[in-house]
Chain A
Amino acid sequence: MNLLLPAVISGVAVGMLYGLLAFATVVLFKATGTVNFAQGTMGALSAFVVWRMLNGYGMNTALAVVLGLVFSVLLGVVTYQLAVRFRDGGDAGNTLVRTLALSLLFAALIDRLWSAGQPFQFPQLLTPGGFSLAGIRFSYAAFETLAVAAVLLTGFGLLFRFTNVGLLTRAMADSREVTRLLGVRNRRLAAAVWGVTAALGAVVALLSAHTLFLSTSMMDAYLLYGFTAAIAFGLTSLPGSIIGGLVIGLIGNVVSTYQGSDWANILMFGVLVVVLIIRPQGLLGRTEVRRV
């Protein structure tokens, strides 16, 4: 059995999920200057809500997923409005620590509501099974994961490039003062970005819950790899986040397949350290120049 091709395919599929998280990280950072450490637990919380609607109330799967995504958007917006918005013009480290605290808060909330019996089975939202080609087994789910991620990334990429909202978001990332003087309500826009990025986290959680199983910490490793992708390839580069996710997914899965996960992590984080020493803004990021 040839291991390389299946390892590459599964690596690309999981890499797209890392890429989605990295993309959300970059979008939020570009728009608000914040990295959200609560991204993973917010996604997990949304997946728990979907699971509860499915198991507790016997709701139709598609409806539960849609409601779960709506919940995730509201969660993002409310989180911003209640915990991030106030005194957000000061020290960036303060906001960063707030998101870390939010992550612990959401984790505690999940544990408070649904700790007993974790991890839970989660239904496969994608097509089960697969097909064999030249003796190699391919799963439909991997291709569908790729497709969903590709559609979302392309859609958001186009949104940021060609729509007014996208342009304003990018403008706000460049200079909040300028957008404010132009009459843009920065905080309203920031709330929308928090909502959208929370939904992206929820999509990743929902797509991976069947294979990861539903647990409070289910997104921890994914978020770590997503951050790694975003930072290594530049916190200011949207294409970099996607490429970074794919590279991390590929390295992770191919090296894990042949050499074990320890070597994969040594390689990935070793490369991250080297990149940050040689090119602090990330491989595809741009250096921020400030007029003094």
Chain B
Amino acid sequence: MVAVATAAVTAAALAACGASGGKAASGSEVIKLGQTTHLSGPAGAFGKSFSEGQQAIFKAVNDAGGVNGRTIELTVLDDGLDVSRAVQNVRTLIGQKNVAIVGVSGAGSIEAMVPILNRAEVPLLFPSKSTASFAHKVVPYAFAGIPTYPDQAGAIVGAAFKKSGPGSVFLVQTASDQSKANLARVKEAVAAGGGTLAGEVIVPFGADVAPFALRIAEKRPDYALFTSGPAETTKIVQQLAAENRLPRKGILGLTTLPGETFAQGTPASAHRLLYSLAATNPPTDPSAKECNDALAKYYPDTKPDYVATFGCMDAQMVVAALKAAGDDVTGPGIVKGLESLKDNQVSPLIPPVSFSSRSHVGLTSLPVVIVEDGHFVRTGTVPVPVGS
């Protein structure tokens, strides 16, 4: 109950702030965007940082004249990662005539809201997590920024085999709706690359990781692929490093891995082995300057970390979508505009994106990062084919 009250206050405060940068809309025309995300609860830190990254970009765009002369007005509602609250929020946001819902997260919430938004002809733009239900088939009003985790898992295994040679792979997951699909895609990629699957563990959130680290240590695989959350990944890698049982060739990760938790919580011996996909270039990359400047200006208390940078990138994709819609900033207009984007450099933080009427997944390649001197560094890109 206390959490709910706190969440309500936080959401109200954020919503009151909006993203209009305190400036009146040009010609009173505004583009109303809605967002339901987890500002409170176990993943509240992620939701808050991601949302602030987005809002920093929207405010910067508004202060520079807006999109085609219109300012962006963002309404943020907190769902605490609770599916029923997220659905209620989405219904509220639709009722408030928002033209699109942006950057939400929580796989269950996304799955639940996609059909609602589709019926209402309100586009869902680039949630921080993509699921097969709208990434592997075209849902007219749902667009994915990044590929699904199973697609990423297959891609990073293939890329690691090319870089350091095939070998045995141990898959480490936290329980999620994508666990089975992750395993299937990793098996495919391992077989295709001439390697073997050494094993799989599913680690519960908040658990004592010792039993799981023991199982990985026993197999001593060439690669350990972590689709688990950053904290669980870090705990296990920390334990493997302490026992001198790190994987022989690589610690592989998806877009969930890069972040302060891993960089600060694991030793240099683990850093040397890291090879991970990332949703964006790292915040220390020169390409993050626009994002860092916006964060420093509008959210000086927010550290420009990986999650905030991810939020910036997401907002830059949204701005590109609004620009592509031109004067027709309606649900159908945004869909039409997005489907016309081809190899468009919507953000300096990511490779070019493309959408079409046959594919609503924008990024089909992702940055790859390693760790140098305790910081993530971009080392190239890896193609991530969209599965079926």
B242 at the interface (CB under 8 A from A): yes
Given A6-B214, A10-B214, answer yes or no on A115-B242 (Cβ-Cβ < 8 Å): no
Q: Are A107 and B206 in contact (CB under 8 A)?
A: no
A3→B6 contact, CB < 8 A: no
Contact A211 B45 (CB under 8 A): no
Find out whether the CB atom of B215 lies under 8 angstroms from the CB atom of A3: yes
Q: Does A104 sit at the interface, judged by CB under 8 A?
A: yes
Expressed in whole angstroms, the minimum distance between the Cβ of B248 and any Cβ of chain A is 14
Query: A218 CA to B231 CA in the complex, in Å?
Result: 11
When C-beta atoms are compared, the residue in chain A nearest to B208 turns out to be: A14
B209 on the A face (CB < 8 A):
yes
Q: A217 at interface (Cβ–Cβ under 8 A)?
A: yes
Interface string of A83-127 (1 = CB under 8 A from B): 000000000000000000100110110011001111101000000
Is B6 a contact of A108 with CB atoms below 8 Å?
yes
A260 contacts B by Cβ under 8 Å: yes
Q: Is there an interface contact between B210 and A217, defined as CB atoms closer than 8 Å?
A: no
B264 sits at the interface (CB 8 A): yes
Shortest Cβ distance from residue B241 to the other chain A in the assembled complex, whole angstroms: 11
Instruction: Indicate if A139 sits at the interface (CB-CB under 8 A).
Output: yes
Whether A221 lies near B45 (C-beta < 8 A) is no
Q: A72 within 8 Å of B by Cβ?
A: no
- Are A116 and B49 interface neighbours, CB within 8 A? yes
What band does the interface of chain B fall in when counting residues whose beta carbon is under 8 Å from A?
35 or more
User: B96 at interface (Cβ–Cβ under 8 A)?
Assistant: no
Q: How far is the CB of A104 from chain B (nearest CB, A)?
A: 5
Task: Decide if B215 touches A257 in the complex (CB within 8 Å).
Answer: yes
Complex Cα spacing A129 to B207, Å: 21
CA separation between A104 and B242, bound complex, in Å? 35
- Contact in complex: A211, B235 (CB < 8 Å): yes
Q: When A108-B6, A260-B201 are in contact, do A118 and B211 touch as well, CB less than 8 Å? A: no
Q: How many residues of A contact B (CB 8 A)?
A: 42
What residue of chain B has the Cβ atom nearest to residue A253's Cβ? B211
> Which residues of B have CB within 8 Å of A254?
211
- Does B244 reach chain A (CB closer than 8 Å)? yes
User: Are B6 and A137 in contact, with the CB atoms below 8 A?
Assistant: no
CA distance in complex: A6, B214 (Å): 8
Proximity string of chain B (191-229) to chain A, C-beta cutoff 8 Å, 1 when within and 0 when not:
000000000011110111111101101101000000000
Please classify the interface of chain B as helix (H, G, I), strand (E, B), loop, or mixed, using the class held by over half of its residues: helix
B265 closest partner in A (C-beta): A121
Chain B residue at minimum C-beta to C-beta distance from A256: B211
- 0/1 interface trace, chain B 155-185, chain A, CB 8 Å (1 if under): 0000000000000000000000000000000
With A14-B208, A211-B208, A257-B211 in contact, do A116 and B3 touch (Cβ < 8 Å)?
A: no
Q: Are A213 and B231 in contact (CB under 8 A)?
A: yes
Is A130's beta carbon under 8 Å from chain B? yes
Contact B6 A10 (CB under 8 A): no
A174 within 8 A of B: no
* A168 interface hit (Cβ, 8 Å): no
Chain A hits for B45, CB < 8 A: 115-118
- Is B234 in contact with chain A by the CB < 8 A criterion? yes
Query: B264's closest neighbor in chain A, by CB?
Result: A121
A7 in the interface, Cβ–Cβ < 8 Å? yes
Between A6, A111, A128, A253, the greatest number of chain B beta carbons within 10 A of the residue's beta carbon is seen for: A111
Residue of A nearest to B6 (CB): A108
A99-B147 Cα distance, complex, nearest whole Å: 44
Q: Are A261 and B202 in contact (CB under 8 A)?
A: yes
Instruction: Decide: A213 and B211 in contact? CB cutoff 8 A.
Output: no
Docked complex Cα distance between A31 and B6 (Å): 35
> A276 contacts which chain B residues (CB < 8 A)?
none
Complex-state Cα separation, A57 to B48, whole angstroms: 26
Complex CA distance for A116 and B264, rounded to whole angstroms:
16
Can you spell out 24 A-B residue pairs with CB atoms less than 8 angstroms apart? Answer: A3-B215, A3-B218, A7-B214, A10-B210, A14-B208, A101-B1, A104-B3, A115-B40, A117-B45, A119-B261, A121-B265, A137-B244, A208-B208, A211-B210, A211-B235, A211-B239, A213-B235, A215-B206, A217-B42, A252-B211, A257-B211, A257-B212, A260-B202, A261-B211
- Residue numbers of A with Cβ under 8 A of B are 1, 3, 6-7, 10, 14, 101, 104-105, 107-108, 111-112, 115-119, 121, 128-130, 137, 139, 208, 211-213, 215-218, 220-221, 252-254, 256-257, 260-262
Using CB atoms and an 8 Å cutoff, list the residues of chain B in contact with chain A. Answer: 1-3, 5-6, 40, 42, 44-45, 48-49, 201-204, 206-212, 214-215, 217-218, 220, 231, 234-235, 238-239, 242-245, 260-261, 264-265, 303
Known: A10-B211, A104-B1, A257-B211. 9 other contacts (CB 8 A): A7-B210, A14-B210, A104-B2, A107-B3, A108-B3, A115-B48, A117-B45, A121-B264, A261-B207
